[in-house]
Structure 1
């Protein structure tokens, strides 16, 4: 399908460097878009690629909703592919099925758009941007447009939206867009009309049922995949919470250990000071003792000499 191959066809052609640069540019947050655009354009110009520099410099800064839609496409390629396939199936179904046959598809469509929108909001948040309610509404409108309109699907598949997309006003359950209404059929000739009309009606019913079945399968597959992704996201979030808790506990233990270490170091400094003082006192006492021993020895010798003289 066209929307699935648009990006690949563009990258397979000449000018791969500039295409890569533009792809990179349109996943850059809007707040950094202009600076990034000038950097990429200057690099292309410095390489002698004047035309590439012109194309990069002409790139329009995306709105926040358009950037989030581009980010969703780049970050979740498998979910985006299934979403585009679902859009093709829904468009085929809407051309032929009545409102009753499409009621469950419409409910699935709303759930899938809501789920993808939440994922885009999460991706934007992880990239440092919180989407306001009006921006989220523009994002959901863009996703609804991708489901409803082939041109919108092709545009989103290119990954370079500059503004949010608007779903066509005439895309409603049980109605066929005017440009796609089947041409009016002339009334069959009386001779063959009854049998031909009956066969044609049966064939149209069978075709409608087949399209409905394909659309349901595509919607159910997309919804299953989104549920799996939500489960993985929940598991990853739980793992992140546990890791944060362990980090906080380790930080508390480290703080306690550092406090204990500071106390131990202070105690060590006091003990070292006491040891130096004790060593000083010990040396002083040793000197006094040595002096006393010398004096005692001298006095003992004097006493012996005196005893010898008296004898």
Structure 2
């Protein structure tokens, strides 16, 4: 079922984080991914951080298909159910059901491709004709192939899907093959195979370009981190030098204060000795004066 995941035990569910990440436009995907991974790492959720960091940046067509799924969940669910019915009709060899459902398929694929273009434009991304062609191919693959439908239903496509060659577009179930020598390949078969090879080549080129862009973005982020680390190291070195200079001046002040204290103590001891001598002399003089003082009644004759 198409839908949003909730939260876990008080922290944001990593599945919900990844769902939201894959609706981020490709141009901002790597920066947002690293921001979310860092937040998870800071919160002590190392495994969540690893999963978020491992998310691959989607192509523009894959992002648009993810946006359609998330923005229009009810329509997307009906589209998935149409694919189930159409695959069942082919499997059951029901020509009437195939024709009826194929008519719906054509109309709905066209309508959803236009809806995807509008959603992308609302999000600030104009989709080129080539990208819209990939969106259409992805929607056709979702209808024709159960595995493709399951992948799209996750809302985390990182590349456009390619419809399988075994699902004829709007045709009735194939008739039994006649016995006899194989017929030469028809021109439309050769053209279809060339289109499939071209689609695979484009997908591989897109994957390589996306990988290159991710590595470039990571390299740019790493260089910026190196610059910040160098600046921080320079500030720390200057602060350490200032602290060492302050410590040197403090030690000089301490030595000066200790020397001043020593001299003051010497002056205090000297003053104390002088005071003791003066007190002794004062007591001696007082005793001598008292001794020489005439006794009462001893006046002059």
Q: Which has the larger radius of gyration?
A: 2
Alignment pair present for 1:103 and 2:99: yes
Distance 1:156 1:31, change over 3 A: same
- Structure with more of its chain in helix, by fraction: 1
Alignment pair present for 1:23 and 2:19: yes
Distance 1:35 1:85, change over 3 A: same
For 1:43, which of 39, 44, 47 is the aligned residue?
39
Instruction: Name the counterpart of 2:229.
Output: none
> How far apart in 2 are the matches of 1:105 and 1:28?
33
Aligned to 1:139, the other structure's residue is in SS state helix
2:61–2:160 contact (8 Å) kept in structure 1: yes
Residue-by-residue CA offset, 1:1-40 (whole Å, 9 max, x unaligned): xxx27x67x7698996211111111000000000100100
Instruction: Name the counterpart of 2:173.
Output: 175
2:83–2:142 contact (8 Å) kept in structure 1: yes
Instruction: Name the counterpart of 1:163.
Output: 159
For 2:148, which of 138, 152, 156 is the aligned residue?
152
Residue-by-residue CA offset, 1:145-191 (whole Å, 9 max, x unaligned): 11111111111110000000111110123337xxxxxxxxxxxxxxx
> How far apart in 2 are the matches of 1:101 and 1:86?
11
> How far apart in 1 are the matches of 2:97 and 2:20?
42
Instruction: Name the counterpart of 2:294.
Output: none
> How far apart in 2 are the matches of 1:97 and 1:118?
31
Aligned to 2:40, the other structure's residue is in SS state helix
Q: How large is the RMSD of aligned CA atoms in angstroms?
A: 2.1
Normalising by structure 2, report the TM-score: 0.53
> How far apart in 1 are the matches of 2:84 and 2:94?
17
Instruction: Name the counterpart of 1:128.
Output: 124
Aligned length: 171
Instruction: Name the counterpart of 1:85.
Output: 81
Residue-by-residue CA offset, 1:72-109 (whole Å, 9 max, x unaligned): 00000110111111111111111123556522321220
Mapping for residues 1-311 of structure 1, pairs under 5 Å: 4=1, 17-99=13-95, 101-172=97-168, 173-175=171-173
Normalising by structure 1, report the TM-score: 0.52
Give unmatched runs, 5+ long, in structure 2. 175-301
Higher relative contact order (CA 8 A, sep 6+): 1
> How far apart in 2 are the matches of 1:99 and 1:85?
19
> How far apart in 2 are the matches of 1:162 and 1:90?
25
Give unmatched runs, 5+ long, in structure 1. 177-311
